[in-house]
Structure 1
Amino acid sequence: MNEKKTKLNRGLKSRHVTMIAIGGAIGTGLFLGSGSAIRSAGPSIILSYLIVGIITFFMMRALGELILADTEKHSFLDAVKEYLGDRVEFVAGWIYWACWLTLAMADLTATGIYLRYWFPWLPQWVGPLVIVVLLMLINMVDVGLFGELESWFSMIKVIAIIALILTGAVLLLLHTNVAGRPVSLSNLFNHGGFFPTGGWGFMMSFQMVVFAFVGVEIVGLTAGETSDPDKDIPKAINTLPVRIGLFYIGSMLAIMAVYPWNKIQTTSSPFVQVFGAIGIVGAAGILNFVVLTAAMSATNSAIFSTSRSLYALARGGNAPKKLGELSNKAVPNNALTVSSLILFVIVILNYLMPAKIFDVVSTVSTICFIIVWMIIMWAHIKYRQANKNNLGSFRMPGYPITSWLTLIFYFVILVILFFIESTRLPLIISIIFVVLLWGCYGLVEKHKN
């Protein structure tokens, strides 16, 4: 009889952690949603990515300091419990679980649509069903296999972005004309200036850009399964600004150098528009493969993160004990199965619910991610206050100013969301959800007692 493990297996290698971090920072929003973002803010979207990138770096440094202070911690939820208490851990854990689950539902719905690009006769529920089963089985085998799969998913996204940036650079250097217009950096200033939609348009862009970074904190869940966390996690976090600069700012510069921002269509991906305009055959099909990969990557990450969140909650006494058990391969299979089975609901929802429901659900999810980031920053501040004379080598630069600046920035984003009609309802739903979880903890604690 196989003996069950009592600790997670450290099967994730350095390149796995790095690629998981990259995969967490690059979603379908860059490939599909960037056209709407550019039309809303114009070239100033580049500055938005730079500012949010710096804030994200600070959040990740705070997260890194928290989990590296004690590498026996399995995830950032353990640090939240230690410095903010059981109730906040309960709220953060269940919010984070719900965040990833709802995002996965939205991405799974998208996979059904993407597959129909090649197979129009395929029922939309078939894609999500096959992908959930496949990814669940892969995740059950070994955490190293999850890392390997996520590395390949991330690599495909990275190749697509680098191809766009290199294409833009070559066209720029050769002074090429595309669609009857010269490729030039002057396109960033010659069509209404750098802030063509004004200050409010620039402010509005922050909510779109922040949403693009959802999932980057997944590195904080890999601590208990990384072979050398003291080396691998700092490396993944410290290279984040370079990746952000290259992938987000580089791709925005390439797109707007080829096309003036006000000529970019919102009905199709800017990537397709650029590649299609220079005559690359099958540009739409290639991008469809990339966004299908991005959606599968998000689902793969969701299965990993929701299972580890449930595992951490169970170990903390905030979920059924069965979910805290590990298989003989040191994988939390019970937690993984429960999260995966819930994803099967999406197969049914593809029949029953209109697409607009998923827009609301995915927005609620991303707002909840911001709340989780705020909790991480709050926990970091408490950690620093409690360990003034006993700090590790990996520290938050510029503390306490950077910690409070990051926390305030995320709060301001939530305030902005309240004044945007399309995000006001999801924000209210998110706040109600947090309040309900806060109240539910009392019932759970009473039941435990």
Structure 2
Amino acid sequence: YEIVNSLVGSEMCIRDRFLLVANLASAKAYATLEFWFAMIKVVTIILMILLGFAVILFGFGNGGHPVGFSNLWSHGGFFTGGLKGFFFSMAIIVGSYEGIELIGISAGEVSDPHKAIVKSVKSVLWRILIFYVGAIFVIVTIYPWNKLDSIGSPFVTTFAKVGITAAASVINFVVLTAALSGANSGIYSSSRMLYKLAHEGEAPKTFGHVSKRIVPSHAIIGITSGIFVGFMLNVLAQFLNKSLANVFVIVYSSSVLPGMVAWFVILLAELRFRRKNPHLMENHPFKLPLYPYSNYFALIMLVVIVVFMFINPETQISVAVGAAVLIIAALIYVVKHQKDK
């Protein structure tokens, strides 16, 4: 009773139902929510970057003493942990950007995909440079890299440094919207993939149903139900045994390797498509630069990252679980299609 009561009254259940209703309403409702969720993150990061540069260049919030850029090369300089540490961190970066291929999935639900998709892809580079590289640059410039563990959240500390006393509450709100954004986009992309699988005979046909609002309603309900079941299992595991509290972290991080499969497939598919259809590429308005070398470079880097994930003790369990999931899924696929033959 205690477990069920905690689940029914939990904030996560409320958020789950909220996102379910939004995704069932229409693709426009999903896009509107995602716009505002993203806007909150974007405004917060831009504000942090601007305040960070004020601290670095003018000493704002630091007694008028500019921090400068010396922290970038002090305390051991670049790559103090060697290249191994760099490649270990790449697993986290890859996990952060998995799902970027959603741009392609949305092509079927925008009014002018030729313009919208091209514009979105081009803007991705600038978003990475500003919101990811820019934020990291400011953080490691203000705070020595070997003291980041002791300061807590760099975002909270940066806002607090310039006198924003409610910094912790602001960041907690932003983290909440970021979680909602991730779940919202996850429901959207997963439901569309499940809908596609249903039409190809790889999933139950009921998931191929489209509602009057032109959304794959059964697939959306199925994916949202899966999220809720996963949440219940996580709570149950923690209730029965506190040592199982990190089950969610293991399950989440184990998705990094399966998530990379989509990137492998996209890179290989483009190589094959352009090789077999050179006539379609003659006047194509949006070709990948440095093809095919860019494809081969990306494939090699993905393989290197996977190898280092197996080497890193902190990711060995996760990548092993991810590999097991891929192997089981591949075996099910082979057995199913052997029967069809």
**Alpha-carbon distance in 2 for matches of 1:251, 1:240:** 16
Q: CA deviation at 1:357?
A: 0.7
**Alpha-carbon distance in 1 for matches of 2:49, 2:129:** 11
Name the structure 1 match of 2:248. 358
Name the structure 2 match of 1:435. 327
**Alpha-carbon distance in 2 for matches of 1:179, 1:352:** 50
Q: CA deviation at 1:177?
A: 6.2
Match of 1:237 among 121, 132, 138: 121
**Alpha-carbon distance in 2 for matches of 1:130, 1:350:** 17
Name the structure 1 match of 2:211. 327
The answer to whether the 8 Å contact 2:79/2:86 transfers is yes
Structure 2 unmatched ranges of 5 or more: 1-5, 238-243
Tell me whether 1:160 sits opposite 2:44 in the alignment. Answer: yes
TM-score of the superposition, structure 1-length normalised? 0.69
Name the structure 2 match of 1:269. 153
Compared with structure 1, are the counterparts of its residues 411 and 357 closer, same or farther at alpha carbon in structure 2 (3 Å cutoff)? same
Compared with structure 1, are the counterparts of its residues 397 and 125 closer, same or farther at alpha carbon in structure 2 (3 Å cutoff)? farther
Name the structure 1 match of 2:262. 372
Name the structure 1 match of 2:178. 294
Query: Which range moved further: 229-238 or 427-436?
Result: 427-436
Letter in 2 for 1:209: I
Name the structure 1 match of 2:299. 407
Compared with structure 1, are the counterparts of its residues 209 and 351 closer, same or farther at alpha carbon in structure 2 (3 Å cutoff)? closer
Tell me whether 1:175 sits opposite 2:67 in the alignment. Answer: no
**Alpha-carbon distance in 2 for matches of 1:178, 1:261:** 18
Structure 1 unmatched ranges of 5 or more: 1-121
Q: CA deviation at 1:429?
A: 1.9
**Alpha-carbon distance in 2 for matches of 1:252, 1:137:** 36
Compared with structure 1, are the counterparts of its residues 266 and 426 closer, same or farther at alpha carbon in structure 2 (3 Å cutoff)? farther
Q: CA deviation at 1:179?
A: 8.5
Letter in 2 for 1:136: L
**Alpha-carbon distance in 1 for matches of 2:62, 2:88:** 30
**Alpha-carbon distance in 2 for matches of 1:149, 1:306:** 17
The answer to whether the 8 Å contact 1:141/1:329 transfers is yes
Match of 1:254 among 138, 143, 153: 138
Name the structure 2 match of 1:381. 271
SS at structure 1 position matched to 2:288: coil
**Alpha-carbon distance in 2 for matches of 1:331, 1:237:** 24
Identity of aligned residues (%): 36
| Higher Rg of the two aligned structures | 2
TM-score of the superposition, structure 2-length normalised? 0.90
Name the structure 1 match of 2:314. 422
Tell me whether 1:187 sits opposite 2:77 in the alignment. Answer: no
Compared with structure 1, are the counterparts of its residues 267 and 184 closer, same or farther at alpha carbon in structure 2 (3 Å cutoff)? closer
- RMSD value, Cα: 2.0
Name the structure 1 match of 2:10. 126
Q: CA deviation at 1:265?
A: 2.7
- Considering Cα pairs closer than 8 Å and 6+ residues apart, tell me whether 1 or 2 has the greater RCO: 1
4+ aligned runs moved over 4 Å, structure 1? 122-125, 179-182, 446-449
**Alpha-carbon distance in 1 for matches of 2:63, 2:76:** 20
Query: Which range moved further: 271-280 or 231-240?
Result: 271-280
Name the structure 1 match of 2:166. 282
Letter in 1 for 2:132: Y
**Alpha-carbon distance in 1 for matches of 2:327, 2:63:** 53
**Alpha-carbon distance in 2 for matches of 1:432, 1:194:** 36
